[in-house]
Structure 1
Amino acid sequence: MPGLAKLVFLFLSGTLFILGMLGNGFIAVVNVRSWFKSKRISWSDFIITALALSRIVLLWILLTDSIIVAFFFNVYTDGTARGVTDVFWTFTNHLSIWLATCLGVLYCLKIASFSHPMFLWLKWRVSRVVMWMLLGALLFSCGSAMSLIPQFQIYSLLRETAGTGNVTEHLRKQMGKYQQIHVLKMLRYIPPLILSLASYILLILSLGRHMQQMRQSRTSPSDASTEAHRRAIRIILSFLFLFLFYFLAFSITSYSYLLPSREMTKFIGQLTTMFYPVGHSFILILGNNKLKQTFVELLCCECGHLKPGSKGPLAS
């Protein structure tokens, strides 16, 4: 790989890392400070804070992985560095995805309105549902990371056997078993993907129906409530687009060993993977009134239009 391509890759990785740290760090600081002041925190703020913290760790792992891939790609393929980063990556990545799924389910149960008995049953028990989902997310992430141990053992055996040039039937069976485990590892991402899709689709349908009812009952098409619902739908669609984009990105990264130009494929997949925790954090800031208000006040303070401690134009 040309040195210029590596420099561009590291520059883009560093830029995304800084933006992601600023966005997710801002979310974590604002919500934790509010938690200490009021001595309580809502489920949505708790999930968003946990999501921001998990993505801070995820960005550090991705940056470290980018440096290893750029300068020590041979060491990366040897297995040791790859094994260590894969364990931390798998745990943090699964936790981040499940937290985003929990947030989508929470928004759906809190905002959407349907008369189906099952939906109403879940809506009345939203706190219990979210609590069990968070516990399940933590256990599922730990289980996903621990399940990598058999894969590493088979990978190490394959490398030792391939190095001797003794390709036997046992080796072929182990190779098939390794690829089977790799495919099953990717299938673990299907449940949160389906849950997120279902939550966002239900929420979009509910908000769309509500907007239609408001448009029929009000004379002004630019009603403030209608605009708020339109903004909510745009934010949800952004969530959905980024989530699908992210799923495609780490699928490409995971199967880079099967594609031509393996190193370049890894570079592109790595950058695309970093884009999701960065972009999603700023969407969360713009879609949350408290975070958006604090962000605007901070910008006003930096520009000298607002004194520290005073209320900004968005304060109630």
Structure 2
Amino acid sequence: MSVSKALIFEGVGCVEVLAGLVVNTFITAINLRDWWTSRKLKPYDKIMANLGFSRVFLLICFFLRIVNRISKLNVYSSPAQRCAFRTAQLLFDFASLWFAMWLCLLYFVKVTMFKNHFFVWVKLRIPQLVPPVVIITYVASFIFGFIYAFSVGETSDVMDGVNLPTNRSVYKELSYMIPLYFIGHVLPFICVSISTSLLIQTIGHHIRHVKANITGFKRPRLDAHLSAIRSAVLLEFMTISNLLATFIFHFDFYGYFEANVSVLFLVSYPLFHSLVIVTGNVKLKRVLWGIVDCVKGKLAIERCLISQHIESKRETNAQQK
């Protein structure tokens, strides 16, 4: 790859990482502010706060790796440093995917009316189930990340400039990578896909029920339902893209694909997935528009002050003449 092309990839990756840090820090900060104010959070907000928190540190890991590659510092060259860094990255990578899965499942359980006694029991006990779910997610992500980082010596990794030269190394990598990435990536993807399809089916059934039972000339307002379907489809598309990019990034041992493109997809996933969550959440969207209105107001005041200063300066110059 040419130097100019590599710099373009690195520059776009840095922009995506920085934008993702802003969005996920916003999600975490708003939920922490609410917790600090009321000393309690809804189960949905607890999962969302941990999702933003894990993605902030995942993006920091991505940023450090991009900077390390650009500057060629090789800051984690020793096996112990490499193991620690990979453990941290996989911890937040697996945790963010599992929190995204819990968020999808929680929303599905929240909007669906169940007749099964088990699902009714789960729905009633969601506030008690969320704290142990959060702890188990972090602990399991750390364990699986540490096992992978400790067991694997080298990986085919474009961000480290490493390629596996022998089939023996490939078989050794696969013996650890396939089970761990199934738990960390494929299993959350399966659960998200199932819950998303059931959620779309439930919302579609509700829309048909509302249209079939409408009386009078007033049309029902279905904007919220259609918006939820669009968000669910968009999130599922991004989840599929992230899974494919992950497999190309980690399992393309001999460079058959352009790995830098998969890096951009991996880095963009925490950004755009979180953006869709923000636009679909009433509380976050209200705070975001409040910030935008405040910035617009300050800019308008500054423009007014500047115009007044220019006008007064013109009047002073006119009087001097």
- TM class by shorter chain equals 0.7 to 0.9
How far 1:147 sits from its partner (Å)? Answer: 0.8
What is the CA deviation profile of residues 4-56 of structure 1, one whole-angstrom value per residue up to 9, with x for unaligned ones? 01210121012101211121111122221122122211111111111111111
Are the equivalent residues in 2 in contact too, given 1:59–1:274 (CA < 8 A)? yes
Superposed, 1:22-171 pairs within 5 Å as 22-72=22-72, 83-153=83-153, 155=154
Q: CA–CA distance in 2 between the matches of 1:86 and 1:221?
A: 58
Q: CA–CA distance in 1 between the matches of 2:84 and 2:219?
A: 54
Superposed, 1:106-255 pairs within 5 Å as 106-153=106-153, 155=154, 176-188=171-183, 189-219=185-215, 223-224=220-221, 226-255=222-251
Equivalent residue for 1:161?
A: none
The aligned amino acid for 1:295 is: L
Quick one: structure 1 residues 181 and 217, their matched pair in 2 at CA, closer, same or farther if it must change by over 3 Å? same
Quick one: structure 1 residues 135 and 80, their matched pair in 2 at CA, closer, same or farther if it must change by over 3 Å? closer
Q: CA–CA distance in 1 between the matches of 2:10 and 2:51?
A: 25
Quick one: structure 1 residues 39 and 127, their matched pair in 2 at CA, closer, same or farther if it must change by over 3 Å? closer
The aligned amino acid for 2:126 is: V
Equivalent residue for 1:310?
A: none
Equivalent residue for 1:260?
A: 256
SS where residue 147 of structure 1 aligns?
helix
What is the CA deviation profile of residues 175-223 of structure 1, one whole-angstrom value per residue up to 9, with x for unaligned ones? 5333322222222222212211122122111111111111122256853
Moved more, 88-97 or 108-117: 108-117
How far 1:71 sits from its partner (Å)? Answer: 4.8
Q: CA–CA distance in 2 between the matches of 1:305 and 1:232?
A: 33
* RMSD of equivalent CA atoms: 3.0
Structure 1 length as normaliser, TM-score?
Answer: 0.81
The aligned amino acid for 1:144 is: F
Q: CA–CA distance in 2 between the matches of 1:211 and 1:242?
A: 25
Are the equivalent residues in 1 in contact too, given 2:14–2:66 (CA < 8 A)? no
How far 1:234 sits from its partner (Å)? Answer: 1.1
How far 1:282 sits from its partner (Å)? Answer: 1.1
Q: CA–CA distance in 2 between the matches of 1:196 and 1:306?
A: 42
Q: CA–CA distance in 1 between the matches of 2:223 and 2:218?
A: 9
Q: CA–CA distance in 2 between the matches of 1:20 and 1:281?
A: 8
SS where residue 276 of structure 1 aligns?
helix
How far 1:68 sits from its partner (Å)? Answer: 3.0
Quick one: structure 1 residues 16 and 213, their matched pair in 2 at CA, closer, same or farther if it must change by over 3 Å? same
The aligned amino acid for 1:234 is: R
SS where residue 113 of structure 2 aligns?
coil
Are the equivalent residues in 1 in contact too, given 2:57–2:92 (CA < 8 A)? yes
Q: CA–CA distance in 2 between the matches of 1:273 and 1:305?
A: 36
Are the equivalent residues in 1 in contact too, given 2:68–2:74 (CA < 8 A)? no
SS where residue 258 of structure 1 aligns?
coil
What is the CA deviation profile of residues 108-133 of structure 1, one whole-angstrom value per residue up to 9, with x for unaligned ones? 11111233344333323333443443
Quick one: structure 1 residues 248 and 77, their matched pair in 2 at CA, closer, same or farther if it must change by over 3 Å? farther
The aligned amino acid for 1:282 is: L
Equivalent residue for 2:311?
A: none
Quick one: structure 1 residues 148 and 207, their matched pair in 2 at CA, closer, same or farther if it must change by over 3 Å? same
SS where residue 152 of structure 2 aligns?
helix
Quick one: structure 1 residues 178 and 305, their matched pair in 2 at CA, closer, same or farther if it must change by over 3 Å? closer
Identity level (%): 24
Quick one: structure 1 residues 172 and 52, their matched pair in 2 at CA, closer, same or farther if it must change by over 3 Å? closer
What is the CA deviation profile of residues 41-89 of structure 1, one whole-angstrom value per residue up to 9, with x for unaligned ones? 1111111111111111111111122233445399989967754442221
- Bigger Rg, which one: 2
Quick one: structure 1 residues 28 and 221, their matched pair in 2 at CA, closer, same or farther if it must change by over 3 Å? farther
SS where residue 257 of structure 1 aligns?
coil
Are the equivalent residues in 2 in contact too, given 1:297–1:306 (CA < 8 A)? no
Are the equivalent residues in 2 in contact too, given 1:104–1:200 (CA < 8 A)? yes
The aligned amino acid for 1:23 is: V
Moved more, 65-74 or 29-38: 65-74
Are the equivalent residues in 2 in contact too, given 1:286–1:292 (CA < 8 A)? yes
Equivalent residue for 2:269?
A: 276
Quick one: structure 1 residues 136 and 57, their matched pair in 2 at CA, closer, same or farther if it must change by over 3 Å? same
Are the equivalent residues in 1 in contact too, given 2:83–2:146 (CA < 8 A)? no
